Every structure is written in structure tokens, then in C-alpha cells.
Chain A
């Protein structure tokens, strides 16, 4: 039974024209206001959609004093003009934007599932939620009837695997109708930590199961539960290949046919996404010394062969089912483990379908904690999902706590009796359950690595410099799962990323460390200009990044710029023009992104951050922070020092570490200068007046803000 209706709004669903419905649904939970706002031509021109719309709405909603848990903060969910086409793989993504509890700045996530397309076909380009309810609520959007209802949800469970299934059952008219429902939900973990994430559902017709994809980073789920939202449900029946009403369908179909052909012919020879999803990276990263092991101390481990994609494929991943998270995605990377029997915690004994496991999750919850057990990975993945917790942040927190425990910085008195040694899966799971309940050491750990470090410092008086060196967070967000010690470009990719150290802005390790294609500071700066800007574009459109470079044409290597995948960039130009009827070039595509990218940087500035000091990484991101790390790869580091002209004869490890640190820190500073210059920012990392004018974002409040920081 649905709960008491608290507010109702009836509307005439807008017909989608050339990728846009032209309206945004605004809800204020403080006073239960529901209304529509126009999506103006100016918004489309400057911010395009998706993340761009989210940032624009949020910019206008908050002041520089707004905190994540103030009613003024918003959660905006928006697809983008291309979102919802069914021909081209990876076209059902939603951008989620909010002020992050971890960073205090805008957080963006790009998430699969059916929500954004169904929202648009229900008549809304974006959903903008502000305010805070005084009781738990469900927002239900019925796109066929033109009705939005806010219901009391006090009696509903919070955890996703229960709630998403229950609501799918409730709002669907029949089994067949379930595919027309998508639920956004979180869980108890999001209520009691700052690392809460959002699950976005889709109904898997073949499995007859509700599946979920995650908007994982930066605590969006925490904001969601703080607003007392249990779920947002959209229902729309009638998706067709023409629902987006594109201007030139032929352009879309031609691009789609080219990509589907590549996937069917080449995926099995390239990344095997259809078989194992992103888990294929575990073995690759381990081979290249890039897999975070034991809180990023090391990049590989002999036991990593126990958690490779081979193991998951042979024993756990169900094969030969269409694992796409939106219609038409033949890359099909959303792998799942069926009929998994839960071993611990409140759901022990239940048989569940787990959306497990992606590379980032395997690396974070397992290798980074020194645990090499695939069933632990599935268990932790299940609980992180249903509790609404980000697996990357969780793995970082546990890895950091374990290292502190092993080094004697914290003990059982601090951990409440947990023996947080690397490899202790039982302790990691216990900590996970504590986080969800907001109890014991879990309550402290769930605040994230930055706050946990501050807590440990206060309680123990430990070496502050060492703790900063080994706490893997920048801007308050935990680092995603790649060891960047040997790639200066990737150090920048992480450190300068607008939302914090997530790899979706730039992943340059192979270009830099292995291929040696970007040797100079200028080369690296060019890569750190182009790739973050290009990759921002996916989240403006409702697109997934994976079909860009997780499958490449057979002749890609013969092109002038193989890393840009020129054929796929052309596909994107064709998709945008095909949907919107515009006629942009690839240069204009980049301009769309560059504008939003810089606007987000300036937004950080508005929130009191966004300058050079906030781009400083922990030293472990740049090199060996401890004696153990140096000595584990002494041959490599000794060789580097000798080549740099250092006299290391008779020097102790500590002395050599100091030399290497001095060198690497100076390199990072030089890289920072080069990247800022290439991006049109001043030495403090602030976009110049000239840059914002060139990009057309020289709004009076932007100019006034950055003027304070001009040299």
C-alpha cells in the first residue's frame, strides 16, 4: 500500500522534440511545492543538458555559505539531448549533481539505469529537488497520466534491494509493465555516513529481477536521505526508437550500425566487456603494477589471480544474458551474480541478484584492503549497494584504517575491538555493517578518509605528515582505483579533477607511463586539457563513456590520433546533430564541454575552494611514501635517481626517499603550472577573465567572483 499522499501535481506531458522536452520538474520538499520550469534556448546553448543543467540549477540555488545539508542544496537528475535513443550503445545515462558532504563542492555522477530516459519521455529534461521533508517520502512521476505525487514513505524499508523491488511491484500494472519503471533509491548506510550513493534501477526482463546501477561518488545518497527521500519513481510506457523525436534518424542509425558491428566483431578480441564487464581490468592493472594494494602502497600482489575476471567469469558471472542498462547497448557490461546467498548481516540467508562486480569495486573492497576472496567481493558489493554506500570510498576507508592499525597508529581501543589487519575480510564486513547502522568505529569511519584522519590525529597525536601522505583523498573525496606513482600525467588527472580524484576526467597512465607518448610538460598539459574536456561531454548528453574507447575500430591504430578514437568522435558529432538538428563540428563539441568544465571549476571557487591549494595530492599519489614502499621497488627508484644524476652511493633508504620526494614534488608543481596555463587559468588555478569571456560564461556573478582572484 502506498503511503498518505502529501502533494499532487497534474501536468500535460511535453512532447520531446529533437532530444529536449523543454521543461524541468522542480520540487521543494520543505513546503511540498511542485512546479515546472522552462528549459530555455539559452540554457541549451550554454549548458546543453545533463551535468550542465545540474550545475546551472545548483549555481542559482546555493550561496557560497550553503552546506550540503542545508535545505537550499539540491539534487538534480538530468539526462541530456541524446539520452534515451535506443540505437546507439550507452545512451541511457543520468547525470546527478549536488553539493557533496565530502567536498562541500558540486559533485557529479554519471549513472545508468532507465531513470533519465523515462523521465524525459515523461516530459522532463531534468528533475530539480530542493528543500527537506520532515518525514520520509517517495516521489512518484507518472509520465503517461501526467501526474506527480509525493507520498509518505515512513513505513517503507530504506535499503535498495528491498525498496526498489517493492516499488517496482507496486507501481507496475503487470509483469510486462515493470520495464517501464525506474527507481532511484539509497539505503541505511547513506543515512549514517557521508559516503552515501544512489542506486538507479532497471527491470531485467530475462532475469525477472530489479537491477541497479550506481551514482557512486561523493555522497549524493547522503544528501538524498538527508532530504528524507526514500525513493523517486518514474513510470513511462511507450519507449520507441523515435521517442527522442530526432531531427535526422538516419545519422543516428548509421553511427549505431558502425559501432554495433565493431562490438560484435572485436569485443571478444579486445576487452571482453560482453563477457566480464570492467572486471577485465583487474589482471591488466595487476600486471602493470597499477592495482591499488593495501591502501595504495603497492601496485600488484601474487594473490590477485584469485580475484581476476577469469575467476568471476568461470564461477560467478551469469553468461549469455543481455546485460545492458538501457535499450540497445550491445556492449552489455552490467554483469551480475545470480542466486547469491548472503552470508552476513541483516540479510544473511537471503538469495539475491548482485550487480557485481566492476573493476573499481574489486580493486577497492578487495585488493586495496589486502583481501583476495571473490565471495567477499560479492558480499561487500551487495551490502554497499543495498545500504547505499560507495564501494570506492568504502575500500579507501578500510584500506586506510587497516594501514593505520598495522602501523600501530590506531588500536582496538580506537576500532572498538575490530582487528583491522590487511586481509581480514570479517573485520571489513563488520565495519561495513557498523557504518550502515552508524554504530561503533563505523560511525567515525563512515565520515570518509579525510575526517577519519582528523579524528585519528586528534585521538592519537600521530605523525600528521605521515597520515596526510597515506590518506588517499583530495578535496575530501577518496581516490579511485589506479596507482599513479609512475605517471606524472595521471597524478595531475587525479589532483586537478573538478569533483575530486575520480578517473572519469582523465586516465593517462598508459599514454604517459607505458607508451611514453607525452614526455614533456607541454605534452602532458595538452592531454590534461583535451581529455577532461572531451570526457565531460558524455555527462552533458546522457551518454556512457565506455563505448568511446572500450571498443575501438580495427583500423584505429592507423589514425593520426588513435587515443582520441577519431571514428567514435565523429559518431558523437553525428549523434548530436542527428538528434538536435544542429550542425556542430568536433571543435564545437569540445567547446560545449570546455564551457561546463570551467564553470564547474569556478563553482568550486564559489564554495571557497577551487584554487591551487585544493589541488594538492597526498604524497603517496606521487611516489613511495614509506620505507616499505620504496624498498619493495628499490631497483626502480634507485635507477630513476641515478638517471636523474643523484649520488645514491651509501645512502640510506630514508635519504633516497627524501631525494625522490623532492624531485617528484617539484615535477608536480611544474606540471601544475603547465596545465593551468594550457587551460587558460592563472597560477592559482582560477580561469582568467579572458577564458570566461571566450567561453561565453562571463555572467556578472562569475566575473565578480573570479575578479577577486586575478593576478
Chain B
């Protein structure tokens, strides 16, 4: 089990940040991903492997017409 934005999420072996974003449908282009307190560079989303128990914060910025 991992935590994503304070909610439990099932963990699967080999899971990357890109997978987490896809499963959660986090499609907003202005996000910052923080894993266990460390900011992950955008170009590592497809390669950064998640570990069981990781705490992930996907911070969405406000934007657009809003």
C-alpha cells in the first residue's frame, strides 16, 4: 500500500510515478510530485520506481480560467 495525497492506494511491483498519475487520472500539466519529501524531476516520472509504503504528494497548482 502507498499513500497518494493522503489516500491509500494499492501498490504493485514495478510501479512508476507515471503509473500513479495515470491511475489517479492526474492529468493536470502543472503538478509537482514529491516522494517521501523529495521533489522528483518531471523527466523521471516514467523511470522513478515507487516502493511499497512510499508517501507521495502530487501537488496541483491552480491555473486557467480559475
Contact = CB atoms under 8 A, between A and B. Distances in A.
B32 A562 contact: yes
Interface in B46-66: 57-66
A562 to B, nearest CB: 7
A503 B28 CA distance: 18
A435 interface: no
A514 interface: yes
Contact of A562 (B25, B42, B61): B61
A550 B28 contact: no
Contacts of B5: 514-516
Contacts of B23: none
Contacts of A270: 29-30, 63
Nearest to A557: B32
Interface in B21-53: 25-30, 32, 39, 42
A295 interface: no
A358 B62 contact: no
Contacts of B65: 278, 281, 358-360, 481, 503
Interface in A249-272: 269-272
Contacts of B58: 514-515
Contacts, number: 78
Contacts of B27: 283-284, 287-288
B57 A515 contact: yes
B48 to A, nearest CB: 16
Contacts of B28: 284, 287-288, 510
Nearest to A482: B66
A110 interface: no
A166 interface: no
A271 B30 contact: yes
A550 B64 CA distance: 6
Contacts of B7: 516
B30 A511 contact: no
Contacts of A360: 65
Interface string A388-399: 000000000000
B60 to A, nearest CB: 4
Contact of B63 (A271, A508, A562): A271
A265 to B, nearest CB: 13
Nearest to A481: B65
Contacts of B6: 516
B66 A552 contact: no
Interface in A531-553: 549-550, 552
B25 A287 contact: yes
B60 A281 contact: no
A563 interface: yes
A482 B64 CA distance: 12
A280 interface: yes
22 contacts: A270-B30, A270-B63, A271-B30, A278-B64, A281-B63, A283-B27, A284-B28, A358-B65, A507-B66, A510-B28, A514-B5, A515-B5, A515-B57, A515-B59, A516-B5, A516-B6, A516-B7, A557-B59, A562-B32, A562-B59, A562-B61, A563-B61
Given A269-B42, A552-B61, A563-B61, 8 more contacts: A270-B29, A280-B64, A287-B25, A287-B26, A510-B61, A514-B26, A549-B62, A558-B39
5 nearest CB pairs, A to B: A507-B66, A557-B32, A510-B60, A281-B64, A278-B65
